Structure 1
Amino acid sequence: MTIRRFSAAVFAATLLTPGLAACTSTGTGEAGVSASPTTSASASSGATGAVDSDAKQALLNSTNAIRTGNFRFTMAGAGSTAEGQVHEPSQSAEMRVMIGDASSDLMMKLDLIHAKPDSWVKLELGGTAASSVPGVRQLNLGKYQHLDQNRIKGNRALGFDFEAVDPAGSAVLTQGITEVRQTGEGSYAGTLDVSKAAQAGSLDPSVITALGQQAQSVPFTAKLDPQGRLSELVVRIPAAGQRAAQDIKITYSDYGNATAARKPPADQVVEAPPEFYNLFD
Protein backbone atom coordinates (compact mmCIF):
# COMPACT_ATOMS: atom_id res chain seq x y z
CA MET A 1 0.00 0.00 0.00
CA THR A 2 1.27 3.45 -0.87
CA ILE A 3 -0.12 6.79 0.20
CA ARG A 4 -0.42 9.33 -2.57
CA ARG A 5 0.54 12.86 -1.66
CA PHE A 6 0.56 12.36 2.07
CA SER A 7 1.39 15.69 3.62
CA ALA A 8 2.45 16.93 6.98
CA ALA A 9 1.02 20.30 6.10
CA VAL A 10 -1.66 19.01 3.76
CA PHE A 11 -2.91 15.93 5.56
CA ALA A 12 -6.38 16.12 4.04
CA ALA A 13 -4.88 14.73 0.85
CA THR A 14 -4.67 11.46 2.71
CA LEU A 15 -7.94 11.88 4.57
CA LEU A 16 -9.87 11.95 1.32
CA THR A 17 -7.76 9.58 -0.77
CA PRO A 18 -9.77 6.53 -1.89
CA GLY A 19 -8.82 3.44 0.07
CA LEU A 20 -7.43 4.95 3.23
CA ALA A 21 -10.48 7.19 3.60
CA ALA A 22 -12.65 4.11 3.37
CA CYS A 23 -10.69 2.59 6.23
CA THR A 24 -11.12 5.58 8.52
CA SER A 25 -14.24 7.45 7.41
CA THR A 26 -17.01 7.91 9.93
CA GLY A 27 -19.41 9.69 7.58
CA THR A 28 -19.71 13.39 8.01
CA GLY A 29 -17.66 13.47 11.19
CA GLU A 30 -18.30 15.35 14.38
CA ALA A 31 -18.03 18.85 13.01
CA GLY A 32 -21.50 20.24 12.38
CA VAL A 33 -22.82 22.65 9.80
CA SER A 34 -25.95 24.71 10.32
CA ALA A 35 -28.92 24.67 8.00
CA SER A 36 -28.52 26.03 4.50
CA PRO A 37 -27.84 29.78 4.64
CA THR A 38 -30.53 32.22 3.65
CA THR A 39 -30.20 35.66 2.18
CA SER A 40 -29.88 38.41 4.77
CA ALA A 41 -31.68 41.72 4.44
CA SER A 42 -28.45 43.56 3.69
CA ALA A 43 -27.21 41.05 1.13
CA SER A 44 -26.91 41.86 -2.54
CA SER A 45 -27.89 39.25 -5.09
CA GLY A 46 -25.33 37.56 -7.31
CA ALA A 47 -25.25 34.85 -9.93
CA THR A 48 -24.23 32.14 -7.48
CA GLY A 49 -26.19 33.23 -4.42
CA ALA A 50 -26.14 36.17 -2.05
CA VAL A 51 -23.23 37.81 -0.30
CA ASP A 52 -23.52 40.05 2.72
CA SER A 53 -20.57 42.31 1.94
CA ASP A 54 -19.95 43.15 5.60
CA ALA A 55 -19.96 39.49 6.58
CA LYS A 56 -17.65 38.53 3.74
CA GLN A 57 -15.21 41.33 4.56
CA ALA A 58 -15.16 40.26 8.21
CA LEU A 59 -14.20 36.75 7.16
CA LEU A 60 -11.55 37.97 4.72
CA ASN A 61 -10.06 40.18 7.45
CA SER A 62 -10.16 37.32 9.94
CA THR A 63 -7.32 35.51 8.17
CA ASN A 64 -4.89 38.45 8.35
CA ALA A 65 -3.53 37.38 11.75
CA ILE A 66 -2.71 33.92 10.39
CA ARG A 67 -0.19 35.46 8.00
CA THR A 68 1.90 36.71 10.90
CA GLY A 69 2.84 33.08 11.47
CA ASN A 70 2.41 32.82 15.21
CA PHE A 71 -0.49 30.53 16.19
CA ARG A 72 -1.63 27.03 17.09
CA PHE A 73 -3.99 25.04 14.91
CA THR A 74 -5.93 21.81 14.51
CA MET A 75 -7.46 20.04 11.52
CA ALA A 76 -9.84 17.09 11.70
CA GLY A 77 -11.86 14.95 9.34
CA ALA A 78 -12.57 11.36 8.30
CA GLY A 79 -11.31 9.93 11.58
CA SER A 80 -7.96 11.69 11.30
CA THR A 81 -6.52 14.64 13.17
CA ALA A 82 -3.60 17.04 13.04
CA GLU A 83 -2.49 19.63 15.55
CA GLY A 84 0.53 21.85 15.86
CA GLN A 85 1.92 25.33 15.90
CA VAL A 86 3.69 27.76 13.63
CA HIS A 87 6.32 30.16 14.95
CA GLU A 88 7.52 32.25 12.03
CA PRO A 89 9.78 34.49 14.21
CA SER A 90 12.06 31.48 14.77
CA GLN A 91 11.30 29.98 11.33
CA SER A 92 10.00 26.83 12.99
CA ALA A 93 6.83 24.76 13.08
CA GLU A 94 5.66 21.41 14.35
CA MET A 95 2.75 19.09 13.71
CA ARG A 96 1.39 15.84 15.11
CA VAL A 97 -0.76 13.81 12.74
CA MET A 98 -2.89 10.75 13.46
CA ILE A 99 -4.61 8.85 10.67
CA GLY A 100 -6.82 5.90 11.50
CA ASP A 101 -6.29 3.67 14.53
CA ALA A 102 -5.05 0.18 15.34
CA SER A 103 -8.24 -1.35 13.89
CA SER A 104 -7.85 0.44 10.54
CA ASP A 105 -6.23 -1.12 7.50
CA LEU A 106 -3.46 1.43 7.96
CA MET A 107 -2.74 3.56 10.98
CA MET A 108 -0.16 6.31 10.74
CA LYS A 109 1.27 8.65 13.35
CA LEU A 110 3.70 11.40 12.48
CA ASP A 111 5.51 13.86 14.69
CA LEU A 112 7.03 16.50 12.44
CA ILE A 113 9.42 19.29 13.34
CA HIS A 114 10.60 22.02 11.00
CA ALA A 115 13.35 24.39 12.10
CA LYS A 116 14.65 26.10 9.00
CA PRO A 117 16.69 24.81 7.20
CA ASP A 118 16.06 21.36 8.70
CA SER A 119 13.09 19.01 9.02
CA TRP A 120 12.59 15.82 11.03
CA VAL A 121 9.79 13.28 11.33
CA LYS A 122 9.07 10.44 13.71
CA LEU A 123 6.87 7.88 11.97
CA GLU A 124 4.79 5.02 13.33
CA LEU A 125 2.89 2.67 11.03
CA GLY A 126 0.32 0.18 12.30
CA GLY A 127 -2.93 -1.51 11.38
CA THR A 128 -3.68 -4.74 9.60
CA ALA A 129 -2.03 -3.67 6.33
CA ALA A 130 1.12 -2.13 7.82
CA SER A 131 3.19 -5.22 7.11
CA SER A 132 2.57 -4.73 3.38
CA VAL A 133 4.20 -1.28 3.36
CA PRO A 134 7.62 -1.61 1.64
CA GLY A 135 10.48 -1.18 4.10
CA VAL A 136 8.23 -0.95 7.14
CA ARG A 137 11.07 -2.17 9.38
CA GLN A 138 13.20 0.76 8.24
CA LEU A 139 10.34 3.18 8.90
CA ASN A 140 9.15 2.21 12.39
CA LEU A 141 12.40 3.19 14.06
CA GLY A 142 11.09 5.05 17.09
CA LYS A 143 13.47 7.90 16.24
CA TYR A 144 13.29 11.16 14.35
CA GLN A 145 14.30 10.83 10.73
CA HIS A 146 16.19 13.78 9.34
CA LEU A 147 14.91 14.78 5.91
CA ASP A 148 17.14 15.67 2.98
CA GLN A 149 15.94 19.09 1.84
CA ASN A 150 17.12 18.36 -1.69
CA ARG A 151 14.77 15.37 -1.77
CA ILE A 152 11.75 17.34 -0.58
CA LYS A 153 12.41 20.69 -2.23
CA GLY A 154 9.22 21.88 -3.89
CA ASN A 155 7.30 18.93 -2.43
CA ARG A 156 4.54 20.31 -0.25
CA ALA A 157 3.89 16.77 0.97
CA LEU A 158 6.99 16.79 3.17
CA GLY A 159 8.26 20.35 3.47
CA PHE A 160 6.96 23.49 5.13
CA ASP A 161 6.72 26.79 3.30
CA PHE A 162 7.53 29.70 5.59
CA GLU A 163 6.29 32.03 2.86
CA ALA A 164 2.82 30.47 3.17
CA VAL A 165 2.56 29.56 6.83
CA ASP A 166 -1.07 28.40 7.08
CA PRO A 167 -1.26 24.59 6.79
CA ALA A 168 -4.99 24.79 6.01
CA GLY A 169 -5.03 27.69 3.55
CA SER A 170 -8.03 29.39 5.12
CA ALA A 171 -7.31 32.67 3.35
CA VAL A 172 -7.62 30.90 0.00
CA LEU A 173 -10.87 29.29 1.09
CA THR A 174 -12.51 32.50 2.33
CA GLN A 175 -11.67 34.25 -0.91
CA GLY A 176 -14.03 31.77 -2.56
CA ILE A 177 -17.11 32.80 -0.56
CA THR A 178 -20.19 32.81 -2.82
CA GLU A 179 -22.89 33.15 -0.18
CA VAL A 180 -22.67 34.21 3.48
CA ARG A 181 -24.70 35.57 6.34
CA GLN A 182 -23.97 36.34 9.96
CA THR A 183 -25.75 33.87 12.23
CA GLY A 184 -24.73 35.32 15.61
CA GLU A 185 -21.99 37.24 17.37
CA GLY A 186 -18.81 36.22 15.53
CA SER A 187 -20.61 33.36 13.75
CA TYR A 188 -21.20 32.96 10.02
CA ALA A 189 -22.61 30.44 7.53
CA GLY A 190 -22.58 30.27 3.77
CA THR A 191 -21.11 28.53 0.75
CA LEU A 192 -17.69 28.45 -0.87
CA ASP A 193 -16.49 27.95 -4.42
CA VAL A 194 -13.58 25.59 -3.80
CA SER A 195 -12.96 24.94 -7.50
CA LYS A 196 -10.09 27.44 -7.38
CA ALA A 197 -8.82 26.41 -3.95
CA ALA A 198 -6.36 23.68 -4.96
CA GLN A 199 -3.63 25.51 -3.04
CA ALA A 200 -5.60 25.35 0.21
CA GLY A 201 -3.81 22.75 2.31
CA SER A 202 -7.02 21.37 3.76
CA LEU A 203 -8.32 20.19 0.37
CA ASP A 204 -6.90 17.60 -2.00
CA PRO A 205 -7.13 18.86 -5.62
CA SER A 206 -8.43 15.43 -6.67
CA VAL A 207 -11.37 15.89 -4.31
CA ILE A 208 -12.17 19.23 -5.91
CA THR A 209 -12.10 17.58 -9.33
CA ALA A 210 -14.38 14.77 -8.17
CA LEU A 211 -16.94 17.27 -6.90
CA GLY A 212 -17.48 18.74 -10.36
CA GLN A 213 -20.15 21.46 -10.29
CA GLN A 214 -20.73 20.82 -6.58
CA ALA A 215 -17.34 22.42 -5.91
CA GLN A 216 -18.86 25.81 -6.70
CA SER A 217 -21.24 25.72 -3.72
CA VAL A 218 -19.79 23.91 -0.71
CA PRO A 219 -21.40 24.75 2.67
CA PHE A 220 -19.29 26.18 5.48
CA THR A 221 -19.56 27.74 8.93
CA ALA A 222 -17.03 30.01 10.61
CA LYS A 223 -16.40 31.56 14.01
CA LEU A 224 -14.27 34.56 14.91
CA ASP A 225 -12.73 35.34 18.28
CA PRO A 226 -13.47 38.64 20.09
CA GLN A 227 -10.59 40.26 18.19
CA GLY A 228 -12.14 39.33 14.85
CA ARG A 229 -9.60 36.58 14.11
CA LEU A 230 -10.63 33.26 12.60
CA SER A 231 -11.02 30.66 15.35
CA GLU A 232 -12.95 27.93 13.54
CA LEU A 233 -13.80 27.00 9.96
CA VAL A 234 -15.88 23.94 9.07
CA VAL A 235 -16.15 22.96 5.41
CA ARG A 236 -18.74 20.31 4.53
CA ILE A 237 -17.53 18.38 1.51
CA PRO A 238 -20.51 16.64 -0.16
CA ALA A 239 -20.39 13.05 -1.34
CA ALA A 240 -19.03 12.62 -4.85
CA GLY A 241 -18.62 9.37 -6.72
CA GLN A 242 -17.14 6.79 -4.35
CA ARG A 243 -16.12 9.44 -1.85
CA ALA A 244 -18.27 9.81 1.24
CA ALA A 245 -19.34 13.21 2.50
CA GLN A 246 -16.74 14.71 4.84
CA ASP A 247 -16.66 17.56 7.31
CA ILE A 248 -13.25 19.22 7.57
CA LYS A 249 -12.86 21.25 10.74
CA ILE A 250 -10.01 23.74 11.16
CA THR A 251 -9.30 25.74 14.32
CA TYR A 252 -6.82 28.47 15.25
CA SER A 253 -5.84 29.64 18.73
CA ASP A 254 -3.09 31.28 20.80
CA TYR A 255 -2.39 33.98 18.23
CA GLY A 256 0.94 35.55 19.14
CA ASN A 257 1.63 32.96 21.84
CA ALA A 258 3.22 30.09 19.94
CA THR A 259 6.79 29.10 20.81
CA ALA A 260 9.80 27.97 18.83
CA ALA A 261 9.80 24.30 17.93
CA ARG A 262 12.27 22.19 19.91
CA LYS A 263 14.74 20.30 17.74
CA PRO A 264 15.01 16.59 18.54
CA PRO A 265 18.09 15.46 20.55
CA ALA A 266 20.99 14.34 18.35
CA ASP A 267 20.96 10.84 19.85
CA GLN A 268 17.32 10.46 18.74
CA VAL A 269 17.98 11.34 15.09
CA VAL A 270 18.80 9.15 12.07
CA GLU A 271 18.84 9.99 8.38
CA ALA A 272 15.59 9.11 6.59
CA PRO A 273 16.02 5.95 4.47
CA PRO A 274 14.96 5.71 0.81
CA GLU A 275 11.86 3.77 1.90
CA PHE A 276 10.55 6.86 3.64
CA TYR A 277 10.68 9.03 0.52
CA ASN A 278 9.17 6.21 -1.53
CA LEU A 279 6.20 6.07 0.84
CA PHE A 280 5.33 9.68 0.11
CA ASP A 281 5.88 9.74 -3.66
Structure 2
Amino acid sequence: MRTPKLAVVSAAVLIALTGCGQANDSSGAGSPGAATTSAPADPAARIDAASKKMEQSSFKFSIDAAGMKAEGVRHQPSDSMSMTMKGAAEGKEFTIEMVQISKDIYMKMDFGLDPGDDPELQGFADALSGWRHITQEQAKADVGSLAAAGAQAMGSSIAKQVTELKETAPNTFTGTVDLTKSNDLDVTDAETLAALGDKAKAVPVTITLDSEERLSSMVLDIPGAGKIKAQQTTIKFFDFDNVTQPKAPPADQIKES
Protein backbone atom coordinates (compact mmCIF):
# COMPACT_ATOMS: atom_id res chain seq x y z
CA MET A 1 0.00 0.00 0.00
CA ARG A 2 2.10 2.86 -1.35
CA THR A 3 0.03 5.90 -0.45
CA PRO A 4 0.12 5.51 3.37
CA LYS A 5 3.91 5.21 3.22
CA LEU A 6 4.14 8.34 1.10
CA ALA A 7 1.81 10.11 3.50
CA VAL A 8 4.16 9.45 6.37
CA VAL A 9 7.13 10.45 4.27
CA SER A 10 5.44 13.71 3.35
CA ALA A 11 4.91 14.38 7.03
CA ALA A 12 8.50 13.43 7.69
CA VAL A 13 9.50 16.21 5.34
CA LEU A 14 7.87 18.46 7.86
CA ILE A 15 9.98 16.96 10.66
CA ALA A 16 13.17 17.53 8.75
CA LEU A 17 12.17 20.99 7.59
CA THR A 18 11.33 22.22 11.03
CA GLY A 19 14.26 20.79 12.92
CA CYS A 20 12.75 18.26 15.30
CA GLY A 21 16.13 17.38 16.72
CA GLN A 22 18.97 18.13 19.05
CA ALA A 23 19.43 21.86 19.50
CA ASN A 24 22.33 23.73 21.03
CA ASP A 25 20.06 25.47 23.52
CA SER A 26 17.82 22.86 25.16
CA SER A 27 16.57 25.27 27.79
CA GLY A 28 14.11 26.85 25.37
CA ALA A 29 15.44 30.30 26.24
CA GLY A 30 15.80 32.99 23.62
CA SER A 31 12.90 32.32 21.28
CA PRO A 32 13.28 33.68 17.76
CA GLY A 33 10.71 36.34 18.48
CA ALA A 34 13.08 37.91 21.00
CA ALA A 35 15.67 38.71 18.34
CA THR A 36 15.50 42.23 16.97
CA THR A 37 18.22 42.05 14.33
CA SER A 38 17.27 43.29 10.89
CA ALA A 39 16.56 40.73 8.21
CA PRO A 40 19.21 40.18 5.52
CA ALA A 41 18.22 41.48 2.11
CA ASP A 42 19.38 38.49 0.06
CA PRO A 43 16.50 35.97 -0.41
CA ALA A 44 18.71 32.93 0.12
CA ALA A 45 20.18 34.44 3.30
CA ARG A 46 16.69 35.25 4.62
CA ILE A 47 15.42 31.71 4.03
CA ASP A 48 18.54 30.28 5.64
CA ALA A 49 18.09 32.55 8.67
CA ALA A 50 14.41 31.60 8.91
CA SER A 51 15.32 27.91 8.87
CA LYS A 52 17.76 28.40 11.72
CA LYS A 53 15.10 30.18 13.75
CA MET A 54 12.80 27.21 13.32
CA GLU A 55 15.43 24.94 14.83
CA GLN A 56 15.05 26.84 18.10
CA SER A 57 11.26 27.14 18.05
CA SER A 58 8.21 25.27 19.26
CA PHE A 59 5.13 25.42 17.02
CA LYS A 60 2.10 23.67 15.56
CA PHE A 61 2.04 22.52 11.96
CA SER A 62 -0.28 21.16 9.32
CA ILE A 63 0.24 19.32 6.03
CA ASP A 64 -2.21 19.15 3.16
CA ALA A 65 -1.10 16.75 0.40
CA ALA A 66 -2.67 14.51 -2.21
CA GLY A 67 -4.63 11.84 -0.35
CA MET A 68 -3.42 12.92 3.07
CA LYS A 69 -3.83 15.58 5.74
CA ALA A 70 -1.78 15.87 8.91
CA GLU A 71 -1.40 18.08 11.94
CA GLY A 72 0.92 18.08 14.90
CA VAL A 73 3.26 19.95 17.21
CA ARG A 74 6.96 20.34 17.66
CA HIS A 75 8.24 21.09 21.21
CA GLN A 76 11.82 22.32 21.05
CA PRO A 77 12.90 22.28 24.74
CA SER A 78 12.05 18.57 25.13
CA ASP A 79 13.20 17.62 21.61
CA SER A 80 9.81 16.05 20.90
CA MET A 81 7.04 16.09 18.33
CA SER A 82 3.74 14.42 17.62
CA MET A 83 1.50 14.23 14.57
CA THR A 84 -1.60 12.53 13.27
CA MET A 85 -2.10 11.75 9.58
CA LYS A 86 -5.35 10.79 7.91
CA GLY A 87 -6.10 9.88 4.34
CA ALA A 88 -7.36 7.27 1.94
CA ALA A 89 -5.67 4.73 -0.32
CA GLU A 90 -7.11 1.98 -2.50
CA GLY A 91 -10.60 2.74 -1.20
CA LYS A 92 -9.57 2.44 2.45
CA GLU A 93 -9.23 5.22 4.99
CA PHE A 94 -6.15 5.18 7.17
CA THR A 95 -4.89 6.95 10.29
CA ILE A 96 -1.27 7.06 11.38
CA GLU A 97 -0.15 8.54 14.69
CA MET A 98 3.48 9.21 15.52
CA VAL A 99 5.20 10.49 18.66
CA GLN A 100 8.91 11.19 18.77
CA ILE A 101 10.69 11.85 22.08
CA SER A 102 14.32 12.53 21.25
CA LYS A 103 15.45 9.32 19.50
CA ASP A 104 12.48 7.23 20.65
CA ILE A 105 9.76 6.85 18.01
CA TYR A 106 6.27 5.49 18.72
CA MET A 107 3.83 4.73 15.93
CA LYS A 108 0.24 3.52 15.71
CA MET A 109 -1.39 2.67 12.37
CA ASP A 110 -5.00 1.94 11.49
CA PHE A 111 -5.63 0.95 7.88
CA GLY A 112 -9.29 0.07 8.42
CA LEU A 113 -8.66 -3.63 7.87
CA ASP A 114 -11.46 -6.15 8.25
CA PRO A 115 -9.65 -9.51 8.45
CA GLY A 116 -12.81 -11.57 8.78
CA ASP A 117 -11.89 -15.24 9.17
CA ASP A 118 -8.56 -14.90 7.34
CA PRO A 119 -5.85 -15.83 9.89
CA GLU A 120 -3.12 -14.16 7.84
CA LEU A 121 -4.98 -10.87 7.70
CA GLN A 122 -5.86 -11.22 11.38
CA GLY A 123 -2.19 -11.59 12.23
CA PHE A 124 -1.39 -8.53 10.14
CA ALA A 125 -4.14 -6.52 11.83
CA ASP A 126 -2.92 -7.61 15.27
CA ALA A 127 0.63 -6.60 14.41
CA LEU A 128 -0.54 -3.12 13.41
CA SER A 129 -2.82 -2.57 16.39
CA GLY A 130 -1.63 -0.46 19.31
CA TRP A 131 1.52 1.57 19.72
CA ARG A 132 4.86 0.26 18.50
CA HIS A 133 8.21 1.46 19.83
CA ILE A 134 10.45 1.48 16.78
CA THR A 135 14.07 2.28 16.10
CA GLN A 136 15.22 4.88 13.61
CA GLU A 137 16.30 2.03 11.33
CA GLN A 138 12.79 0.56 11.46
CA ALA A 139 11.30 3.97 10.83
CA LYS A 140 13.46 4.31 7.73
CA ALA A 141 12.35 0.90 6.47
CA ASP A 142 8.67 1.54 7.26
CA VAL A 143 8.11 5.15 6.31
CA GLY A 144 11.20 6.61 4.66
CA SER A 145 14.56 8.09 5.45
CA LEU A 146 13.34 11.38 6.89
CA ALA A 147 11.31 9.69 9.59
CA ALA A 148 14.42 7.87 10.70
CA ALA A 149 16.46 11.05 10.58
CA GLY A 150 13.82 13.20 12.25
CA ALA A 151 15.62 13.57 15.56
CA GLN A 152 18.78 14.84 13.91
CA ALA A 153 17.53 16.55 10.77
CA MET A 154 17.79 20.31 10.89
CA GLY A 155 15.41 22.94 9.62
CA SER A 156 17.20 23.57 6.35
CA SER A 157 16.62 20.12 4.81
CA ILE A 158 14.37 21.58 2.14
CA ALA A 159 14.99 25.29 2.39
CA LYS A 160 18.75 25.05 1.89
CA GLN A 161 18.21 23.06 -1.30
CA VAL A 162 15.93 25.61 -2.92
CA THR A 163 17.64 27.47 -5.76
CA GLU A 164 16.73 30.46 -7.93
CA LEU A 165 15.10 32.14 -4.94
CA LYS A 166 13.28 35.38 -5.69
CA GLU A 167 11.10 37.58 -3.47
CA THR A 168 7.91 37.93 -5.52
CA ALA A 169 5.90 39.78 -2.83
CA PRO A 170 6.65 40.96 0.71
CA ASN A 171 7.88 37.90 2.66
CA THR A 172 6.96 35.57 -0.23
CA PHE A 173 9.67 33.71 -2.13
CA THR A 174 9.66 31.36 -5.09
CA GLY A 175 12.33 28.95 -6.25
CA THR A 176 12.91 25.39 -7.38
CA VAL A 177 14.27 22.20 -5.83
CA ASP A 178 15.93 19.27 -7.62
CA LEU A 179 14.26 16.11 -6.31
CA THR A 180 16.77 13.90 -8.12
CA LYS A 181 19.60 15.32 -6.01
CA SER A 182 17.64 15.89 -2.79
CA ASN A 183 17.58 12.24 -1.75
CA ASP A 184 16.95 13.07 1.91
CA LEU A 185 13.68 14.80 1.04
CA ASP A 186 12.03 11.50 0.09
CA VAL A 187 8.87 13.33 -0.97
CA THR A 188 8.06 11.07 -3.90
CA ASP A 189 8.82 7.60 -5.17
CA ALA A 190 11.06 6.25 -7.93
CA GLU A 191 8.12 5.72 -10.29
CA THR A 192 7.09 9.37 -10.06
CA LEU A 193 10.67 10.60 -10.44
CA ALA A 194 11.12 8.47 -13.54
CA ALA A 195 7.87 9.78 -15.06
CA LEU A 196 8.82 13.38 -14.32
CA GLY A 197 12.19 13.12 -16.05
CA ASP A 198 13.84 16.54 -16.25
CA LYS A 199 10.82 18.14 -14.55
CA ALA A 200 11.98 16.57 -11.29
CA LYS A 201 15.12 18.71 -11.45
CA ALA A 202 13.19 21.97 -11.04
CA VAL A 203 10.08 21.45 -8.90
CA PRO A 204 8.52 24.83 -8.02
CA VAL A 205 8.51 25.85 -4.35
CA THR A 206 6.85 28.84 -2.69
CA ILE A 207 7.97 29.88 0.81
CA THR A 208 6.41 32.54 3.01
CA LEU A 209 7.79 34.11 6.18
CA ASP A 210 5.85 35.65 9.05
CA SER A 211 6.41 39.11 10.52
CA GLU A 212 9.23 37.75 12.68
CA GLU A 213 11.05 36.19 9.73
CA ARG A 214 10.11 32.60 10.62
CA LEU A 215 8.88 30.05 8.11
CA SER A 216 5.11 30.42 7.80
CA SER A 217 4.35 28.11 4.90
CA MET A 218 5.92 26.07 2.14
CA VAL A 219 4.19 24.82 -1.00
CA LEU A 220 5.72 22.21 -3.32
CA ASP A 221 4.10 21.94 -6.76
CA ILE A 222 5.07 18.58 -8.25
CA PRO A 223 4.04 18.65 -11.93
CA GLY A 224 2.07 15.95 -13.68
CA ALA A 225 3.71 13.56 -16.15
CA GLY A 226 2.13 10.73 -18.11
CA LYS A 227 -0.33 8.94 -15.85
CA ILE A 228 1.01 10.81 -12.81
CA LYS A 229 -1.26 13.68 -11.83
CA ALA A 230 0.12 16.99 -10.62
CA GLN A 231 0.46 17.08 -6.85
CA GLN A 232 0.68 19.94 -4.39
CA THR A 233 1.89 19.69 -0.80
CA THR A 234 1.27 22.62 1.55
CA ILE A 235 2.99 22.83 4.93
CA LYS A 236 2.03 25.53 7.43
CA PHE A 237 3.59 26.59 10.74
CA PHE A 238 1.72 28.55 13.43
CA ASP A 239 1.14 29.14 17.17
CA PHE A 240 4.85 29.54 17.81
CA ASP A 241 5.98 28.82 21.38
CA ASN A 242 2.38 28.00 22.36
CA VAL A 243 2.35 24.21 22.33
CA THR A 244 1.94 21.42 24.86
CA GLN A 245 4.85 19.04 25.29
CA PRO A 246 4.12 15.67 23.63
CA LYS A 247 4.23 12.61 25.86
CA ALA A 248 5.09 9.00 25.11
CA PRO A 249 2.10 6.61 25.02
CA PRO A 250 1.31 4.74 28.27
CA ALA A 251 3.83 1.96 28.84
CA ASP A 252 1.16 -0.76 28.97
CA GLN A 253 0.03 0.19 25.46
CA ILE A 254 3.46 -0.06 23.81
CA LYS A 255 4.79 -3.04 21.86
CA GLU A 256 8.50 -3.38 21.26
CA SER A 257 9.25 -4.03 17.59
Instruction: Return the TM-score normalized by structure 1.
Output: 0.65
Q: Give the secondary-structure state (helix, strand or coil) at the position aligned to 2:77.
A: helix
1:191 equivalent to 2:180? Answer no
Q: Give the secondary-structure state (helix, strand or coil) at the position aligned to 1:239.
A: coil
1:66 aligns with one of 54, 63, 66:
54
Aligned residue number for residue 123 of structure 1: 109
Read off the aligned partner of 2:202 and give its amino acid letter: S
- Report how far residue 260 of structure 1 moved: 1.9
Aligned residue number for residue 215 of structure 2: 230
Alignment of structure 1 residues 1-281 onto 2, 5 Å: 2-3=1-2, 6=5, 10-11=9-10, 54-68=42-56, 70-100=58-88, 105-126=91-112, 134=121, 135-139=123-127, 141=129, 144-149=130-135, 152=138, 155=141, 157=143, 159=148, 161-164=150-153, 171-200=156-185, 203-206=187-190, 207-267=192-252, 269-271=253-255
Please tell me the root mean square deviation across aligned C-alpha atoms, in Å: 3.3
> Retained in 2: the 8 A contact 1:114–1:160?
no
Q: How many residues align?
A: 222
Identity across the alignment (%): 25
**CA separation of 1:73/1:243 partners in 2, compared to 1, >3 Å: closer, same or farther?**
same
> Retained in 2: the 8 A contact 1:86–1:165?
no
> Retained in 1: the 8 A contact 2:133–2:254?
no
**CA separation of 1:7/1:160 partners in 2, compared to 1, >3 Å: closer, same or farther?**
farther
**CA separation of 1:187/1:148 partners in 2, compared to 1, >3 Å: closer, same or farther?**
closer
**CA separation of 1:116/1:189 partners in 2, compared to 1, >3 Å: closer, same or farther?**
closer
- Report how far residue 239 of structure 1 moved: 0.9
- Report how far residue 270 of structure 1 moved: 4.0
**CA separation of 1:150/1:194 partners in 2, compared to 1, >3 Å: closer, same or farther?**
closer
| Stretch deviating more after TM superposition (186-195 or 89-98) | 186-195
Instruction: Return the TM-score normalized by structure 2.
Output: 0.71
Read off the aligned partner of 2:204 and give its amino acid letter: P
Rounded Cα–Cα distance in structure 2 between residues aligned with 1:188 and 1:229 = 13
Unaligned runs of 5+ in 2: 13-40
Residues 78-127 of structure 1 show CA distances to partners (whole Å, capped at 9, x for unaligned) of 131121122242132111011218xx522210121122453322322227
More helix by share: 2
